[in-house]
């Protein structure tokens, strides 16, 4: 309760500051823009979620800082034990005017890997994270403080390389500041794009993330992501997929190897209405029982999702989710749930990549 009070005071103070800054910005013409987004979620038959909840509320300020740099500051409120807690989300400075094709940023940001990890949750094409994403990156993605640089290679085709290093004191969901890792979180991404005109655009990415924790656990994550968008038979379509594989080797104990992927084809039905189907699959490849026998296991889910986009500032999604878990330690479990999401955005919204 005390935290709630602190959080609300902080929030009120921050809103006051933001309003003041914006008022000044308008008069001084600094180009400062503000965005606020709200992600409301209603669920039926999901024991892990409250029936109605503001899953996330985010306020962002962004603007060119000067002729070389751009800055962004965002705070977000998440539900934590039934209480909305405001926290610093992203705060970074980015420059892309040093030399052709090069950009760099410093501060706190979502790591520039994969697809979902680089897109705020309220802009995802489906409601809930696929299992593999949730297991490796948490419900929302990996956020950390550090440096990231990208370079568009001077080649006759599009090839961009991104590399970054972040503190790595924590990785994923944590309740404290973590501990200094032996090797901080480091990552790289190779991205290419194929332009097929109106028919399609295809973005492909190859990713790597590594970390060596304070306890001596080595983490390696490899990923492949792909997004295709275009028009077929006069209707817009989207096809998005990511495959991730994770290897963790603790200082003592057995290596853990797992893999998972999701596929999300989506088609426009009529203007503003889209229908998509999320299929996701995850398995641990190194699970053995006490006697050393390999134990097959899997989690998979189907989630048809109907989306109504009133505009780019208001979106409504309705999804049914079937999840099946085949784990050796229990009888296979099936769950059926439904989700309804409303996302609305006030003010400007920073542009996303393809």
Partner 1 sequence: MKKIAMGLVLLIMAASCGVGSSSYDKSLSGNPLVFLEKGDLQVTENEASGSGKFVFLNPIPVDDSKSFEFSMRLLEDSSSVTIVTKAGNKLENGLSIVFSRKAEKLEVNVTLGTYKKSISDKFTSLKASDPLSFVIDVHAEDPAHVLIWKKESSYTKDNTRFNSNEKDSQNSKLYAMKSKVTGKFWGFALNKAEISSPKVGAPKHSHSH
Residues 5-44 that bind partner 1 (CB under 8 A): none
- String marking each residue 136-155 x if it binds partner 1 according to CB under 8 A: ---xx---------------
Kindly tell me which residue out of 66, 199, 253, 352 binds partner 1, with binding defined by CB under 8 A.
253
Residue 65 token pair: 């800082």
Stretch near partner 1 under the rule CB under 8 A, chosen from 11-19, 174-182, 186-194, 337-345:
174-182
Task: Determine the Cα–Cα distance for residues 221 and 264; give it in Å rounded to an integer.
Answer: 21
Q: Does 135 bind partner 1 (CB under 8 A)?
A: yes
Q: Does 213 bind partner 1 (CB under 8 A)?
A: yes
Which C-beta is closer to partner 1: that of 151 or that of 279?
279
Q: Does 170 bind partner 1 (CB under 8 A)?
A: yes
User: Measured at the alpha carbon of residue 46, what is the angle toward residues 277 and 137, in degrees to the nearest 5?
Assistant: 65
Q: Does 82 bind partner 1 (CB under 8 A)?
A: yes
Element (H, E) at 10: helix 2-28
Q: Does 47 bind partner 1 (CB under 8 A)?
A: yes
Cβ(152)–Cβ(158) below 8 Å:
yes
Kindly tell me which residue out of 294, 314, 322, 350 binds partner 1, with binding defined by CB under 8 A.
294
Nearest residue to 110 via CA among 30, 44, 43, 164: 164
Stretch near partner 1 under the rule CB under 8 A, chosen from 111-119, 196-204, 247-255, 312-320:
247-255
Which C-beta is closer to partner 1: that of 54 or that of 190?
54
Which C-beta is closer to partner 1: that of 62 or that of 171?
171
**How are beta strands 33-44 and 218-232 bridged, if at all?**
unpaired
For partner 1, how many residues bind (rule: CB under 8 A)?
A: 55
SS3 82: coil
SS3 content of the chain, % helix, strand, coil (to 5): 10, 60, 30
Radius of gyration of the chain (CA): 21
Residue 305 token pair: 């999702």
Stretch near partner 1 under the rule CB under 8 A, chosen from 225-233, 245-253, 267-275, 342-350:
245-253
Nearest residue to 161 via CA among 121, 208, 228: 208
Which C-beta is closer to partner 1: that of 151 or that of 239?
239
Which C-beta is closer to partner 1: that of 30 or that of 49?
49
Q: Give the CA-trace dihedral at 82, 86, 87, 90, to 10 degrees.
A: 120
Which C-beta is closer to partner 1: that of 95 or that of 184?
184
Q: Does 249 bind partner 1 (CB under 8 A)?
A: no
Residue 330 token pair: 């229990």
Q: Does 95 bind partner 1 (CB under 8 A)?
A: no
Which C-beta is closer to partner 1: that of 148 or that of 217?
217
Cβ(56)–Cβ(122) below 8 Å:
yes
Stretch near partner 1 under the rule CB under 8 A, chosen from 28-36, 98-106, 168-176, 302-310:
168-176
Q: Does 122 bind partner 1 (CB under 8 A)?
A: no
Q: Does 184 bind partner 1 (CB under 8 A)?
A: no
Nearest residue to 320 via CA among 31, 6, 43: 43
Q: Does 56 bind partner 1 (CB under 8 A)?
A: yes
What is the number of alpha carbons within 13 Å of residue 79 lying toward its C-beta?
16
Residue 96 token pair: 């892309």
Other CB atoms within a 10 A radius of the CB of residue 161 amount to 14
Distance of CA 197 to the CA centre of its chain: 28
Which C-beta is closer to partner 1: that of 25 or that of 259?
259
DSSP string, 220-256: EEEEEEEEEEEEETTEEEEEEEEEEEEEEE-SSS--E
Which C-beta is closer to partner 1: that of 30 or that of 247?
247
Residues within the interface to partner 1 (CB under 8 A): 2, 47-50, 53, 55-56, 78-82, 135, 139-140, 170-176, 178, 213, 215, 217, 248, 250, 252-254, 256, 258, 281, 283-284, 287-291, 293-298, 300, 326-331
């Amino acid at each position: 309760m005390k935290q709630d009070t602190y959080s609300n005071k902080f929030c009120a103070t921050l809103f006051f500051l933001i309003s003041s800054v914006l008022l000044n910005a308008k008069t001084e013409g600094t180009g400062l823009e503000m965005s606020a987004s709200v992600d409301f979620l209603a669920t039926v038959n999901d024991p892990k979620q409250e029936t109605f909840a503001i899953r996330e509320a985010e306020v962002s300020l962004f603007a060119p800082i000067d002729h070389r740099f751009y800055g962004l500051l965002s705070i977000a409120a998440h539900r934590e034990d039934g209480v909305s807690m405001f926290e610093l989300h992203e705060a970074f400075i980015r420059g892309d005017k040093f030399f052709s094709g090069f950009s760099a940023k410093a501060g706190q940001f979502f790591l520039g890997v994969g697809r979902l990890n680089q897109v705020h949750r309220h802009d995802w094409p489906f409601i809930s994270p696929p299992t593999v994403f949730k297991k490796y990156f948490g419900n929302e993605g990996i956020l950390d403080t550090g440096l990231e640089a990208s370079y568009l290679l001077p080649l006759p085709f599009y090839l961009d390389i991104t590399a970054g290093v972040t503190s790595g004191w924590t990785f994923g969901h944590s309740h404290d500041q973590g501990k200094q890792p032996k090797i901080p979180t480091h990552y790289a991404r190779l991205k290419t794009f194929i332009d097929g005109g109106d028919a399609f655009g295809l973005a492909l990415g190859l990713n790597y993330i590594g970390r060596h924790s304070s306890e001596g656990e080595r983490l390696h994550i490899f990923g492949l992501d792909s997004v295709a968008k275009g028009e077929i038979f006069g209707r817009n379509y989207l096809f998005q997929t990511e495959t991730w594989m994770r290897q963790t080797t603790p200082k003592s104990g057995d290596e853990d190897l797992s893999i998972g992927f999701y596929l999300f084809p989506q088609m426009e039905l009529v203007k503003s209405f889209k229908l998509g189907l999320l299929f996701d699959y995850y398995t641990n490849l190194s699970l053995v029982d006490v006697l050393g026998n390999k134990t097959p296991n899997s989690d998979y889910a189907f989630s048809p999702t109907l989306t109504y986009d009133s505009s780019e500032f208001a979106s409504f999604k309705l999804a049914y989710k079937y999840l099946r878990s085949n784990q050796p330690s229990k009888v296979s479990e099936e769950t059926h749930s439904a989700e309804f999401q409303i996302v609305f955005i006030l003010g400007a919204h920073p542009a996303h990549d393809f």
